[in-house]
Amino acid sequence: MQEKRIEKDLLGEIEVPPSVLYGAQTRRAILNFPLAGEQTIGDYHEMIDALMIIKKAAANANLRSGHLDRQRVTAIIGAADAVLAGAHRDQFPIHYLHGGGGTSANMNANEVLANLADESLGGWRGVYSKVHPNNHVNLHQSTNDVYPTACHIAVIRRWPLLETALRDLAQALRGKAEQWANVTKLGRTCLQDAVEMTFGDMFGAYAAFVERSRERIAEAVDHLHEVNLGGTVVGRTDSLPASYLELIPEELGKAAGDPKYRMAKDLFLATQSPDDMVAVASAIDLFARGLLKIASDFRLLGSGPEAGLGEIRLPAVQPGSSIMPGKINPVVPEFVIQLCIQASGKCSACAMALDHGELELNVWESLIVFNLLDSMRLMANAARTFQERCIEALEVDVERNKRNAETIIPLVTRLMAKHGYSTISDVCKEASGDPSRIRILLAKRGLT
């Protein structure tokens, strides 16, 4: 093992730890963007997988088009496969919000693969005598097309985590809708009594919202299969061999195990605007806000035990007070609400990053993709926890709901359909809105 390792780049010499697989540009990124306890790109395994998939695709496209020899390509692909299998994840230590529009992340991947490939061919780390980060691993690529494509792949690969959680949540809500399909409850508008409905109606609507959210997010995620790989700098393809350009979409699909990947219709637009990723964030934001509403409903409907609504009974999962014996708080809905607010904030950051994509390249894609990946994880956790720790064990107070549904507003609304709005409204006016007097007057006038 070398005692000291010096590498060179555009800015000159820099010392790199002898044992690491990355090189000069990664080392500069480590120094330029201090972690301060924050996450690295290596902490997001989908992003590292995405970069490896792209490098495999490019290597094979370059082999088939005659621009790289089989020995180098085999070495590069072998290195990428090792990383995809979970090895060397600690060799991606760059701050996840590094500057430079993803250059550091792309070069981190190039350097790690070059060193692994070079060593497999008998070379030494940091020498790049047989496989070079730029000349071979990054051949016919630019950060401008590699990084946006990697962002798309990372989001697509994380989507199943959220999608499964949404399917399970919707199924749990549908189950409750069927279980209590005929249990009547009081509907409310403006936090005031309205008309009777059923718990089947309520839980059915919640389930429909989750299903609609899943469809909306799925559609936005699916659009991310359109990528700008091959657009190199700002969307230009004229510097690439036609043979490579023709092969790269096919090779990307093979490397990803997903044939849906395709080249963007307008590579300049795809480089300028990550609005397609922000569309995913917007769909997730809508789901977060809607799930927050449902969790808030549960808090209200479960309030009590005596002075609240008390129409549903949330599972008691922990004591609710250090001083009040017997108090149980709706901690799971409160946990879900906080996750929703956090996810919504991250989605708002994605939208803000779209505002600042000056001229030909939006350099804020790190902020977008990692906030998006975080929001997907947060909402998967929210959906899963809500389902498993709250909804599945939730119960309905049938008797209390029956009493609430027999209150005055549902009654006068039913009578209005029979006797007309004006007739019933006059009774309510004469009684000054007092429910007891309304009932007496209705009986006296034979309107009941």
For residue 9, give the CATH number of its domain.
1.10.275.10
Residue 266 lies in a domain: no
Residue 261 lies in a domain: no
Residue 134 lies in a domain: yes
Six-digit token pair at 213?
């959210």
Distances (CA, A) of 322 to 125, 234, 303, 326: 59, 60, 19, 10
Round to whole Å and give the CA distance between 148 and 268: 12
Round to whole Å and give the CA distance between 183 and 81: 56
Round to whole Å and give the CA distance between 297 and 290: 11
- The reply to whether 105 and 159 lie within a common domain is no
Residue 105 lies in a domain: yes
- The reply to whether 316 and 205 lie within a common domain is yes
Number of separate domains in the chain = 3
pLDDT at 355: 86
Neighbours of 428 (CB within 10 A): 19
Distances (CA, A) of 137 to 52, 105, 130, 189, 445: 10, 14, 11, 62, 90
pLDDT at 1: 52
Residue 230 lies in a domain: no
- The reply to whether 122 and 189 lie within a common domain is no
- The reply to whether 424 and 355 lie within a common domain is no
pLDDT at 28: 95
Helix (H) or strand (E) holding 187: strand 184-189
- The reply to whether 327 and 380 lie within a common domain is yes
Query: Rounded to two decimals, what is the model's pTM?
Result: 0.93
- The reply to whether 119 and 175 lie within a common domain is no
- The reply to whether 304 and 214 lie within a common domain is yes
Domain of residue 381, residue span: 155-223+273-401
- Rg of the chain over Cα atoms, rounded to whole angstroms, equals 30
Residues of the chain with pLDDT under 50: none
Nearest to 268 by CA among 144, 103, 105: 144
Residue 29 lies in a domain: yes
- The reply to whether 85 and 105 lie within a common domain is yes
Q: Are 257 and 156 in contact (CB under 8 A)?
A: no
pLDDT at 77: 98
- The reply to whether 397 and 411 lie within a common domain is no
Q: 103-120 and 24-32 are packed helices; what angle lies between their axes, rounded to 10 degrees?
A: 140
Six-digit token pair at 361?
């390249």
- The reply to whether 311 and 340 lie within a common domain is yes
Residue ending a domain, among 98, 115, 139, is: 139
Would you name the residues annotated as active-site residues? 321
Residue 362 lies in a domain: yes
- The reply to whether 208 and 346 lie within a common domain is yes
- The reply to whether 326 and 378 lie within a common domain is yes
Residue 305 lies in a domain: yes
